[in-house]
Amino acid sequence: MNVDIPEGKNPIEYVWGDMVPGIGLAAANFSLSVYAHTTLGLREFEAARLRIAQINGCLFCLDWRTERDEQKVEEEFADAVAEWRTTDAFDERTRLAAEYAERYALDHHGLDDEFWDRMTAHYSQTQIVELTMSLGSWLAFGRLNRVLGLDAMCVLPGH
């Protein structure tokens, strides 16, 4: 489905703001908070975010790269995320972030003790909660953008 966007309106701002201002503003604030207040390293953050983007198929999310301190992940990073099981481009925290993202999105009932033993060996409980909230944001809002066709209407600045 594609939402009808009035001429001259930004699709995201219209859908998230004008159509459902009570919900959309809260959703936008949550989404922005994930980026503004993260304590996770850029590579693990982007591995989780990109894995959710790949699962959702959100075109905008797939094209986006988080920037911190004028740094972004390398161009090939998204390919490594897709191959998180076998890539040699990741340390264990980054690999676990991609794995958690995939399992969170596709098999959250399958998160077993073995997985949590590996996660807690590399992440604190606070970091796991933060990553989980981030995953929830990306899964919900990236999927919303994809399902409503907003991802194809939005263009990254500079593109």
Return the pLDDT at 154: 64
Return the pLDDT at 11: 85
Q: How far is CA 55 from the centre of its chain?
A: 10
Query: Does residue 104 fall inside a structural domain?
Result: yes
Per-residue tokens: 58: 């959100």
CATH classification of the domain holding 74: 1.20.1290.10
Return the pLDDT at 12: 84
47, 81 in Cβ contact below 8 A? yes
Return the pLDDT at 156: 46
74, 67 in Cβ contact below 8 A? no
What pTM, to 2 d.p., does this model score?
Answer: 0.91
Residues of the domain holding 54: 11-148
Count of domains forming the chain: 1
DSSP 14: I
Which residues of the chain fall short of a pLDDT of 50?
Answer: 156-159
Query: Does residue 40 fall inside a structural domain?
Result: yes
